[in-house]
Amino acid sequence: MIPKNIRRLLPQVQKPARYTGGEVNAVMKDLAAIDVRIALAFPDTYEVGMSHLGLKILYKVVNDIPYAYAERVFAPWVDMGGLMQTEGVPLFSLETYSPLHDFDMIGVTLQYEMSYTNILYMLDLAQIPFLTHQRTESDPLIIAGGPCAFNAEPLAEMLDAVALGEGEEVTQEIVSVLLERKLQKLSRQETLQRLALVPGVYVPSLYSPEYNGDDTLKALQSISIGTSNVVKKRILSKLTADYIPTAPVVPYTDIVHDRIMIEIFRGCARGCRFCQAGMIYRPVREYSSQIVLEAAEESIKNTGYEEVSLSSLSTMDYSSIETTLPMLVDKLSCQGVNVSLPSLRVDSFSVEMAAQVARLRKSGLTLAPEAGSQRLRDVINKQVSAEDLLQALRGARRLGFKSAKLYFMIGLPTETIADLDEMVDLVTQAAGIMPVTVSTSSFVPKPHTPFQWEPQFSMYELETRQRYLKERFRRDRRVKYNYHDASTSFLEAIFSRGDRRLSKVLLEAYKRGCKFDGWSEHFKFKAWMDAFAECGLDPTFYANRVREEDEVFPWDHLSPGLDKSYLYNERAAALKAEWTVDCAREHCPSCGVCPNLGVQTFTEKERR
């Protein structure tokens, strides 16, 4: 039963189903039998967070532990958040409507840099102090994970601990430490010390930074006995069916990805030099075809969904895709269930596979050439040609597809106007085959990639390029052009490669009203710039300067297993426009992940 103080707010807000809970497959446990309570917090709206596969996996992992209970909480939209603050209603979980202060731990997803102020927003609504040193023994531990955890320093003052890498096993070990805290009556500091001994767990307060006179980082080292100076990510050496969420919560309202998501493999060996996910999720490991098929059928039975999406960084690189996909389509189509492919390579094979799953409706196709010129595609190691794209589109037209979406980036390292002109020429040729929608995002240099040393183009340069392309595409009615806001990309670059001095900027920006920064209608760029000025920090220092080869980065101690020398060599290859081969198809490029993490990829086993 929804408590009265919450129930009376629901008629006053948009989409009250965001806050009601009680959905199909929501886990309900007897609180009297529970020792450890965890609130899985996603710092965005319900419909965004409920679409996140990682949240579904951790929800299952924790709730499979008999003595532990995972509940969900999302960032309330501004209408609900305002009412909660006015009425004094603290942020609550969806399963039991409990205030977050009642939990032992709040697990925060760091999916996107522009959601950082929403973490403060949720702590504020939960009436939990923002900063770690302000929290008392009765406050829950704030522990984060996700891709942005590989540079958690901008949030170092707010996070009690950070879990690096894949969360299935490390989450269980964190829960065990929380149980020890209860049974042994450990203090907050003693608990953090124990968490720091769990492989893959980083406790920021146990590390101290030192800066050079030019404001670059001199060192960041452990100040606690027994704590490693480098924290390595956790990884599952073998993917089994144990952690696949085949009974996910089914919402009562529309969400962004309202379908079953079945993960088919992890990692990507393509080696695109701009792509952080392709670097930090290495090495490639696959689920067996049998596991994929059984998980899809079980999920449909438990949810009633009418669509299954095969999830990975590059679905067409799944080694059994040619056999698994037709089998899955045949099994599910007789039940009225569609199959979708969220990521396609720019080649004819991908189009043929997409046509198989779109037997009844072939409306549009999405492809990502990423860069407009062949030279620039070589720079970023995107091993496709203009002819690959055009051949794929010709094949798509023959197979009945009506239109295409093409994704590019602007502002990539070494990009010139000539590269943009070649993009326009390529799009014009593509539009001659079928109508196209072109979307450009601005390049953001990411940690643990070959481009982590590179500057982002200034906002002026990015906006100039956007205007240039807009004018060129405006002349062709077959082309629709969309682009991302350059100021948002600027902030993303700052926090992507920032240090822990940015914690005070985050606090100041939140005090100035910044939240839901990823939503254009709520983004307050001036408030952000005022926050930087108030804190005496130059935002361009983080976004727009070239790093030196031997510079110490704020994320060097948070390791995905890659050798930094490999990344720098890849940067050198990029500046020469040289390719590096895909290790799943040819030889190992010696990135360091497998020996550093002690794992063996499926491709190595296959070669033997």
pLDDT at 607 over 50: no
Is residue 357 one of the residues assigned to a domain? no
Mean pLDDT, residues 333-358 taken together:
84
Is residue 521 one of the residues assigned to a domain? no
Is residue 382 one of the residues assigned to a domain? yes
The tokens describing 444, both together, are 């953001």
Same domain, 382 and 455: yes
Sheet with 307-311, edge to edge strand ranges: 260-263, 307-311, 338-340
Q: How confident is the model at residue 21 (pLDDT cuts 50, 70, 90)?
A: very high
Which CA distances in Å does 404 have to 55, 190, 468, 474, 591? 31, 56, 22, 17, 35
* End position of a domain, from candidates 217, 232, 247: 232
Give 247-285 pLDDT, tens digit per residue: 999 999 999 999 999 999 999 988 999 999 999 999 999
Same domain, 296 and 214: no
Same domain, 59 and 160: yes
* End position of a domain, from candidates 186, 214, 232: 232
As a whole number, the mean pLDDT across the chain is: 94
Is residue 55 one of the residues assigned to a domain? yes
Q: How confident is the model at residue 493 (pLDDT cuts 50, 70, 90)?
A: very high
Backbone φ and ψ of 447, nearest 5°: -60, 150
For the chain, what percent of residues have pLDDT higher than 90?
A: 87
Is residue 157 one of the residues assigned to a domain? yes
How far apart are alpha carbons 17 and 31 in whole angstroms? 24
Containing domain of residue 21, as a range? 4-232
Q: How many domains does the chain fold into?
A: 3
Same domain, 228 and 266: no
Is residue 298 one of the residues assigned to a domain? yes
CB distance 174 to 198 below 8 Å = yes
Is residue 520 one of the residues assigned to a domain? no
Same domain, 268 and 396: no
Q: How confident is the model at residue 601 (pLDDT cuts 50, 70, 90)?
A: low
Is residue 90 one of the residues assigned to a domain? yes
What's the pTM value of the predicted model, to 2 decimals?
A: 0.95
Same domain, 29 and 67: yes
Residues 6+ apart with CB under 8 A from 129: 123, 135, 139
